[in-house]
Structure 1
C-alpha cells in the first residue's frame, strides 16, 4: 500500500550497541551521485566489537569512488569512535582526544584523518600510505526517510532475534558541498544523496542489493531493493524486499504484504518481481563492468566478501492493480551488489504471500 512520506527521522537512526558482551558490528552507508559527470561516491563506515580487547575490535572507513575506485583506512582504537544512541551522529578519527561531534571548522582545523557524519552533515579526510587520498564536506537535505518513518525490516529489526538489522535512513535527499578525490575536486549542489545502516552479530550468509535515486527524467524516484539468507533465532530463511519512493508516495513490497521473487546471477544480472494487493513491480539490473571487491563484517572480522559497482544499469516498471503502468524509470547510475557465499550459480527464489 502506498503511503505518504516524511523527511522526519527514521527508526533505528541511533547507535545500537548495548554494551552486552557479544559479537557486534554496526555499519553506516552514505552516498552521493553526481549525474552531470556520471559518477558516484559511496562512503562505508563500520565499528566492530567496540568493547575493545577482541581480535576484531576496531573501525574502518571505505570509499567506492569514481569509476568504482576503492580507498580504505582502518581505525583500530575503538575509544576514538563515538556515536549517538538517540539520533544519527557518529565519527572516528586517528588522534587522541575526546571523541564527539565537532564544529565543522574545528574538525577541518584539528582532525588529521577521520570522519564525522549526521543526518544533515558529512565531512572527513582519509589518506592511504600509497598517496591516494580523499577529503569531503557537504550538507544534506533529507527528502524521503523510509515510508512513514518505518523500519525497513519490520518489527524484527527491533528485536534481538534477527541478524542483521537493516534500516534505510534516507531513501532520497539532496547534498551540497565538495569532494576531493586524488587531487580532483568535485563540487555539487542538490546532488542525489542516500543513507542506510546495518547492525548485529553477523551479516547475512549470502545477499544481493540494488539501489538508485538518480533516474533519467525522474528526479523524484528512489529505489532500494535487496535480499539475503538471514538468521532468525535458530534457523535460516531467504527474504527479499523492494521499496520505491515516487512523487510523495511509498510503494512497499515485503514478505509480510507481498510476494517477492528473484533471479540473481553471481555477477552481472539482477531481476526481481513482486506484487501485492495493489501494485506490481519489476526491477532489472545489469552490468558488464567487473565491479570492485569491498569488505563486510564476518565472524572473523572485515573481509572481502562482496562485489559492487555504482555504475550499473537498472529498469523499474511499476503497475497498478488494473495493470496500468504508473512509471517506467531507467538509470545507468545504479548501485549493484552481491555478497557472501556461495555464488557458484544463479540464485532463483521467492518469499512472502501468494497472490
Structure 2
C-alpha cells in the first residue's frame, strides 16, 4: 500500500518523533500499539480507542490485529482482525488502519461506503466502526486539531529511544488537542466540538513486565493543561530497569520530570491509588490519583499474545501540584476525568520505588 499522501494531507509541519510505523520487516517478535482518546467533560465520560498489530509477518499464533474501545462508564468493546496483511501503516507519518479487507487511507465517504468493520486514523482524522457478536456497536468520525506534541517535539523516552535499545519504546504523539465530530455508542449519538483529545503509541519486542499510567487533559477550570505520567519495568539491552516520568504541558510551557533530568519517586497500589513525586533543579511536582471504581480489564501484548493483563478507568480523580525552586506554587489543578492504569505483574502489594538523579 502507498500512503505518501498522508504527509501532505495529515501531517503537521513538525511531526512528533516516532509517528511512523516501526516494523522493519523482520520475523522477530514484534508489536506496535496506538491510543486515541476523546473526553467529553460535559457528561463526564471518555472514549479511549486502542489499536495493535502483532507479528505482522504472519504465520505465527500471535499474528494479527486488535481494536479495543473503552467507552461510556468504562464499558469495553473489542474485536480481532486475524489477517495481519490487511493492516497498513505509514513509515514516515502517523497513518494506520485495519479492516476486514485490504485498504489504504480512504476518503471518509469512501470508508463509509466500503468498510463494514475496521478503522483508519491519522494525526488529524479518526474514523471506524466495530460490532461484537454480543450486539455491542460503535461508529465514529472526528477531526483532530493538535495543540501539543511532546515537549518541543521530542522523544518521550529521550534520544536513546531512537537507538532501539529500549523494549518497548513509548511516544506521546499528542499530549493535548481538540476533536470535533461524533461517536455512536450502542445506538446513542455523542456529538462534540473541540473536545479534549490525546494520542500515544508503543512498540517493540516486549512489553513491560509491570507498569502504571496516569493521564488527563480535561481539568477543572484549566483548559490549557495536560498531564501524562507513568512508569514500569522494561528491558534495556541485557538488563531490566524501573523507570518513571511525569510530563506537564501548561500554558505553553513543558515541565519534564524524567530519569535523565529529575529524581522521580512513586507509590502505586495494585489498584485505587497512584502517587508520584518528582523534582528537578528548578521544579518539583506531586501527582495523586485515586478511584473507587473497579476498573475494566483490558488486553495488552505479552509473549503469548494479547492477554487481559491490565486494568483501566477513564473516570479517576487526580490532583497536580507544581512548585518552582523557591517553593512558589505554580499550579494546582484537579479532575475527575483521569485515565488510570496498572498492568503486568506481580501486583500483590504496593509498589514503592524511585529512579533518576538525586537533588
Structure-to-structure mapping, 1:166-185, within 5 angstroms? 166-185=170-189
Partner of 2:71: 65
Q: Distance in 2 between matches of 1:336 and 1:201?
A: 24
* Alignment RMSD: 0.9
- 1:348 has 2:358 as partner: no
- 1:192 has 2:160 as partner: no
Partner of 2:127: 123
Partner of 1:85: 91
Superimposed CA distance per residue, residues 53-73 of structure 1 (whole angstroms, 9 cap, x where no aligned partner):
000000000000010000000
Partner of 1:42: 48
> Once the 2 structures are TM-superposed, how far is the Cα of residue 21 of structure 1 from its aligned partner?
1.7
Partner of 1:8: 14
Partner of 1:17: 23
Partner of 2:261: 257
Q: Distance in 1 between matches of 2:165 and 2:216?
A: 29
Superimposed CA distance per residue, residues 327-347 of structure 1 (whole angstroms, 9 cap, x where no aligned partner):
101000000000000000000
Partner of 1:161: 165
- 1:294 has 2:298 as partner: yes
Superimposed CA distance per residue, residues 73-128 of structure 1 (whole angstroms, 9 cap, x where no aligned partner):
00011111100000000000013x4x210000000111000000000000000000
> Once the 2 structures are TM-superposed, how far is the Cα of residue 7 of structure 1 from its aligned partner?
8.0
Partner of 1:144: 148
**Matched position secondary structure for 1:273:** strand
Q: Which runs of 5+ in 2 are unaligned?
A: 1-11
Partner of 2:227: 223
- 1:280 has 2:273 as partner: no
Paired residues of 1:41 and 1:64 also in contact (CA < 8 A): yes
> Once the 2 structures are TM-superposed, how far is the Cα of residue 160 of structure 1 from its aligned partner?
2.4
Partner of 1:207: 211
Partner of 2:5: none
Count, aligned residues: 348
Q: Distance in 2 between matches of 1:159 and 1:262?
A: 27
Superimposed CA distance per residue, residues 251-304 of structure 1 (whole angstroms, 9 cap, x where no aligned partner):
000001000000000000000000001100000000000000000000000000
From the superposition, tell whether residues 349 and 7 of structure 1 become closer, same or farther in structure 2 (CA, over 3 Å): farther
Task: Return the match for 1:316 from 315, 320, 323.
Answer: 320
Q: Distance in 2 between matches of 1:193 and 1:69?
A: 19
Task: Return the match for 2:330 from 314, 326, 339.
Answer: 326
4+ residue stretches of structure 1 with deviation over 2 A? Answer: none
